[in-house]
């Protein structure tokens, strides 16, 4: 999946998957303190994972396949996103 900075492109790329998720599907960590903390909420259904900003629910969630999410997690574990 190619992630584009323009949020309209992200909406277009993920539009077909959004109907799979209801607002009740999203969970956030029990360690999340809101306000003032910024938290993300995650929902998982079938082979899809959706992520949204808990403080701005008007924004469209980002939706990834399980394979895309697993690749991201592996990259984090390998330090591919560490700041130098």
The string of pLDDT tens digits covering residues 38-75 is: 788 899 988 889 998 888 888 888 888 889 889 989 99
Give strand pairing partners of 52: 41
- CA pair distance 51, 69, nearest whole angstrom: 11
Average pLDDT over residues 16-44: 77
Q: Is the pLDDT of residue 11 over 60?
A: no
- CA pair distance 20, 16, nearest whole angstrom: 8
Nearest CA among 82, 4, 19, 5 for reference residue 50: 19
Per-residue confidence (pLDDT) for residue 74, from 0 to 100: 92
Domain ranges of the chain: 22-77
Average pLDDT, the chain: 76
């Amino acid at each position: 999946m190619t992630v584009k900075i323009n949020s309209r492109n992200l909406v277009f790329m993920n539009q077909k998957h959004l109907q799979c998720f209801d607002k009740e599907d999203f969970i956030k960590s029990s360690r999340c303190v809101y306000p003032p903390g910024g938290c993300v909420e995650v929902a998982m259904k079938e082979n899809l994972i959706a992520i949204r900003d808990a403080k701005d629910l008007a924004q469209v969630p980002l939706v990834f396949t399980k394979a895309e999410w697993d690749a991201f997690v592996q990259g984090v574990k390998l330090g591919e996103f560490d700041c130098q």
